[in-house]
């Protein structure tokens, strides 16, 4: 039932704003206040069928299938322009819905326009080839074609960025896309859907749906007419998603969780290491899959760097995410805080020491605020060194040798991001290549670009988003053989 006192957001299917088939509605909470702020329609299996049918249909319609790659690029450029124009309002909506700082959501919405422009430029650069075949009188060539209907499953924590890394290359390749926004804080993506129509994309090329697992996620990821699945989320959910794709054999990429290490060597620039570790842990309130929440510091640097980190962490201003003076806002859900509290309690029982933070902030009302926290870990069994907490919690430990640092960095089931701080070029090259992760930042952290592949290994998933390779992952290659001989085809039962 609709709550008429709150804003309401419909699904976007086949170019239209529609309610779900059963009329089911969910409420989203403003993490800064702990109060409901909007409602949204929930998709059911019938809605998933409708979105997939529209996506399949448009792949054979001239409005989409018949336009050139260059024209697709122009549509993507138009979408990028609109995204820049509406970045402030989209960011404000995302902040209200997820609790992320407005300064971050607005700048991110503005920056991801570059992803759409990058793939707009690539749209007509993906070429086929004429093959120097080993058989006479044969002309053989390849042609890139869109892989088909794409399901893009996007989480709440970096939704504009993670939508762009999937949607932009898929549209550049000529695919159609169903975006499944997280049922936790989906409003920014539902609002973004309006720009799809305004940019001029034909009906059915992009649909945006959301809802719970039985009604939406499972029917979408297991749908027999899905050709490609791009998923970002947690490893446990990903296991179910992979099982679901047994129904459609969809080509799948997974960008999952992380517990990224940051190594600080004795020869690191102290200020740079401090800033990088603070950014890697407390940027986005720690709600990032690449959060560098395992910090290992070489022994001689340890006292000064830890003192710097504690002092800087105590200076972080936690407050209303819409307030420009805030450095950290609330966490998105109460469940995150409860999980952090359980992990910290266990860590303390294992010998860990809380150097700063470690508690809820209660003087900001009923919002989901948690103090930026540093946990000193005297041994490698400490809970917070291994569990992805998705909050502002840094675990810090000491190492002595380069070999020990590499061993500690690789002592994780995850493998998404990593970082190291050293002024020694040889060491940076040597160590960065020995850390098992999809991304390694040296003397910086959390930098991204549409030109740089993004993705992990092990429990952090497989496949890459961004970069030139990403558009190839939304393409199938058709091979055509043409006999150029004037003679009839030879008898197949006479071998020569």
Q: Tell me the pLDDT tens digit for each residue of 69-89.
A: 999 999 999 999 999 999 999
Superfamily of domain 8-256+456-479 in the CATH hierarchy? Aldehyde Dehydrogenase; Chain A, domain 1 (3.40.605.10)
For the chain, the average pLDDT equals: 96
225, pLDDT greater than 80: yes
pLDDT at res. 494: 87
Quick: pLDDT tens for 8-38: 999 999 999 999 999 999 999 999 999 999 9
Residue with tokens 């041994």: 379
pLDDT at res. 496: 67
Q: What is the pTM of this model?
A: 0.95
- Every domain of the chain with CATH number 3.40.309.10 lies at 261-442
Encoding tokens for residue 435? Answer: 């850390």
Print burial letters for 290-325: b (CB count within 10 Å at least 16), e (below 16): bbbbbbbbbeebbeebbebbbebbeebebbbbeeee
Count the Cβ atoms, other than its own, within 10 Å of residue 149: 27
Quick: pLDDT tens for 159-211: 999 999 999 999 999 999 999 999 999 999 999 999 999 999 999 999 999 99
Taking residues 280-287, what's their average pLDDT?
94
Quick: pLDDT tens for 445-459: 999 999 999 999 999
2, pLDDT greater than 60: no
- Every domain of the chain with CATH number 3.40.605.10 lies at 8-256+456-479
Does residue 255 have an active-site annotation? Answer: yes
CB 274, CB 292: distance < 8 Å: no
Q: What band does 257 get if pLDDT is binned at 50, 70 and 90?
A: confident
Can you say how many angstroms the Cα of residue 148 is from the centroid of all Cα atoms in its chain?
21
**Which of 325, 326, 324, 322 has its CA nearest to residue 282?**
326
Rounded to a whole number of angstroms, the CA Rg of the chain reads 25
**Catalytic site residue from 255, 383, 388, 465:** 255
Encoding tokens for residue 333? Answer: 């859900």
Quick: pLDDT tens for 263-278: 999 999 999 999 999 9
Task: For 11-73, give the DSSP string.
Answer: EEETTEEE--TT--EEEEEETTTTEEEEEEE---HHHHHHHHHHHHHHTTSHHHHTS-HHHHH
What is the 3-class SS of 93-155, one letter each residue? HHHHHHCCCHHHHHHHHHHCHHHHHHHHHHCCCCCCCEECCCCCCEEEEEEEEECCEEEEEEC
Can you say how many angstroms the Cα of residue 276 is from the centroid of all Cα atoms in its chain?
21
Superfamily of domain 261-442 in the CATH hierarchy? Aldehyde Dehydrogenase; Chain A, domain 2 (3.40.309.10)
Residue with tokens 């939406």: 216
Q: What band does 213 get if pLDDT is binned at 50, 70 and 90?
A: very high
Taking residues 475-490, what's their average pLDDT?
95
Q: Is the sign of the CA dihedral 261, 459, 254, 477 positive or negative?
A: positive
Rounded Cα–Cα distance for residues 201 and 75 (Å): 7
pLDDT at res. 3: 61
Encoding tokens for residue 197? Answer: 């129509």
CB 334, CB 184: distance < 8 Å: no
388, pLDDT greater than 60: yes
Taking residues 400-408, what's their average pLDDT?
98
- β-pairing, 149-154 with 176-181? parallel
**Which of 218, 206, 219, 163 has its CA nearest to residue 186?**
163
Taking residues 217-228, what's their average pLDDT?
97
pLDDT at res. 392: 97
């Amino acid at each position: 039932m609709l709550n008429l006192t709150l804003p309401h957001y419909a699904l976007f299917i086949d170019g239209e704003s529609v309610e779900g088939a059963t009329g089911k509605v969910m409420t989203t909470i403003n993490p800064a206040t702990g109060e409901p702020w909007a409602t949204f329609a929930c998709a059911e299996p019938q809605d998933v069928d409708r979105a997939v049918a529209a996506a399949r249909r448009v792949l054979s319609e001239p409005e989409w299938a018949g336009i050139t790659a260059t024209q697709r690029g122009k549509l993507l450029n138009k979408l990028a322009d609109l995204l820049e124009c509406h970045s402030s309002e989209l960011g404000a909506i995302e902040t209200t819905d997820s609790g992320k700082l407005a300064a971050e959501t607005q700048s991110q919405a503005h920056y991801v326009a570059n992803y759409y422009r990058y793939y707009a430029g690539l749209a007509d650069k993906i070429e086929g080839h004429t093959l120097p075949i080993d058989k006479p009188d044969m002309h053989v060539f390849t042609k890139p074609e869109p892989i088909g209907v794409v399901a893009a499953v996007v989480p709440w924590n970096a939704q504009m960025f993670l939508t762009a890394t999937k949607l932009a290359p898929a549209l550049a390749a000529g695919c159609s896309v169903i975006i499944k926004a997280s049922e936790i804080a989906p409003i920014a993506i539902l609002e973004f859907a309006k720009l799809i129509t305004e940019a001029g994309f034909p009906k059915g090329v992009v649909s945006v749906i959301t809802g719970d697992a039985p009604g939406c996620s499972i029917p979408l990821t297991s749908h027999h007419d899905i050709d490609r699945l791009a998923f970002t989320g947690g490893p446990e959910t990903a296991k179910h998603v992979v099982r679901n794709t047994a129904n459609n054999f969809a080509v799948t990429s997974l960008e999952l969780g992380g517990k990224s290490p940051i190594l600080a060597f004795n020869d690191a620039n102290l200020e740079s290491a401090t800033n990088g570790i603070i950014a890697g842990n407390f940027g986005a309130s720690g709600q990032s899959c690449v959060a560098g929440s395992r910090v290992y510091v070489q022994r001689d640097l340890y006292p000064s760097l830890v003192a710097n980190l504690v002092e800087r962490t105590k200076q972080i201003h936690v407050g209303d995410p819409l307030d420009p003076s805030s450095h950290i806002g609330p966490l998105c859900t109460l469940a995150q805080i409860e999980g952090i509290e359980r992990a910290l309690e266990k860590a303390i029982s294992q010998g860990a020491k809380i150097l700063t933070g470690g508690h809820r902030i209660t003087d900001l009302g009923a919002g989901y605020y948690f103090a930026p926290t540093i946990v000193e870990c005297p041994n490698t069994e400490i809970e917070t060194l291994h569990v992805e907490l998705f909050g502002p919690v840094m675990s810090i430990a000491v190492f002595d040798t380069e070999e020990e640092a590499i061993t500690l960095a690789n002592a994780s089931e995850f493998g998404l991001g990593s970082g190291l701080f050293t002024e020694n070029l040889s060491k940076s090259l040597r160590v960065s290549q020995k850390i098992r992760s999809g991304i390694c930042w040296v003397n910086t952290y959390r930098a991204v670009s549409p030109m740089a592949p993004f993705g992990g290994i092990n429990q952090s998933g497989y496949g890459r988003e961004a970069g030139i390779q990403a558009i190839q992952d939304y393409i199938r290659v058709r091979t055509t053989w043409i006999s150029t001989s004037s003679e009839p085809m030879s008898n197949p039962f006479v071998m020569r």
